[in-house]
Amino acid sequence: MGNEPDTYAEAIFNYRMQFDNGAKALYRTMIADGTTSSNDWTGGESDINVRQVFAEFSDLPSFTGAFEDVSIWAGKRFDRDNFDIHWLDSDVIFLAGTGGGIYDMQLADNWKSNLSIYGRSFADFELVSSEDPGLEGDTDNLILTSNNYFGNWRWMVNGMSAADNDERDIGVGQTAADTGFHTMIAYHGDSFFGMGKVASRRQYCMDKGSAPRPKILVRAVS
């Protein structure tokens, strides 16, 4: 898979409905399996998993104004507007977890917005404890994300909270953050610096928890 040695497969099952009042529903389940073995039978070492299972509803007749064209969802999923180079397994923006949200709010003529909340869990990390050096803990991370589109420009803001994460042992003199933020500005164009008629994306990312880490990406897709 990409630049990794894994053998990886996904199977996505969609069930779509349209109701008499025009409303639409999507029910999705995604099953994935990964292994580093090249054998035909890998039952003892593969990692089969249900990666997505959610329901999404759109074209709801009771929604009007800024919410006329929205989609609402709940469950476990990958965010619809994730930003990656899939064949290289490079996830620039990869929101995933269990939660709910709303897509495509039309807040102004040239401003469309999404709002979602995701929960993720992190377990079995060492705690800072002089009484019991082998003590381990876990935490749940909540991510509130807002994706905003202004023409070809995109601005994403994420706020994060992880209870008790500041008790994680990450080394002498260091403290893990229990809150943080991430922001991204991206431009989605229809040419690669004027050199061809392709879809292209250029973005700048910055996040801050224990330390800021900027990231710049230029991508072209034919």
SS3 content of the chain, % helix, strand, coil (to 5): 5, 60, 35
Q: Note whether 204 and 142 are same-domain residues.
A: yes
Q: Note whether 72 and 123 are same-domain residues.
A: yes
The per-residue pLDDT for range 192-205, each reduced to its tens digit, is 555 555 555 666 67
Q: Note whether 50 and 68 are same-domain residues.
A: no
Domain that holds residue 19: 1-55
Q: Note whether 125 and 48 are same-domain residues.
A: no
Q: Note whether 176 and 71 are same-domain residues.
A: yes
Q: Note whether 37 and 78 are same-domain residues.
A: no
Q: Note whether 47 and 72 are same-domain residues.
A: no
The per-residue pLDDT for range 56-110, each reduced to its tens digit, is 999 999 999 999 999 999 999 999 988 776 666 677 778 899 999 999 999 999 9
**Token representation of residue 72:** 């609402």
Residue 117 has pLDDT above 70, yes or no: yes
Q: Note whether 129 and 84 are same-domain residues.
A: yes
Q: Note whether 24 and 103 are same-domain residues.
A: no
Q: Note whether 79 and 107 are same-domain residues.
A: yes
* Predicted local distance difference test score (pLDDT) of residue 186: 87
CA distance 138 to 126: 9
CA distance 46 to 34: 6
CA distance 104 to 60: 13
Residue 8 has pLDDT above 60, yes or no: yes
* Predicted local distance difference test score (pLDDT) of residue 127: 64
Report the pLDDT averaged over residues 215-222. Answer: 43
Q: Which one has a higher pLDDT value, 118 or 138?
A: 118
* Predicted local distance difference test score (pLDDT) of residue 121: 83
Q: Note whether 26 and 90 are same-domain residues.
A: no
* Predicted local distance difference test score (pLDDT) of residue 132: 58
The per-residue pLDDT for range 13-23, each reduced to its tens digit, is 999 999 999 99
* Structural domain count, the chain: 2
The CATH number of the domain holding residue 186 is 2.40.170.10
**Token representation of residue 45:** 């070492």
The per-residue pLDDT for range 147-195, each reduced to its tens digit, is 999 998 999 999 998 877 767 767 666 777 788 888 888 888 776 555 5
* Predicted local distance difference test score (pLDDT) of residue 111: 97
Q: Note whether 31 and 71 are same-domain residues.
A: no
Final residue of a domain: which of 16, 34, 55?
A: 55
Residue 140 has pLDDT above 70, yes or no: yes
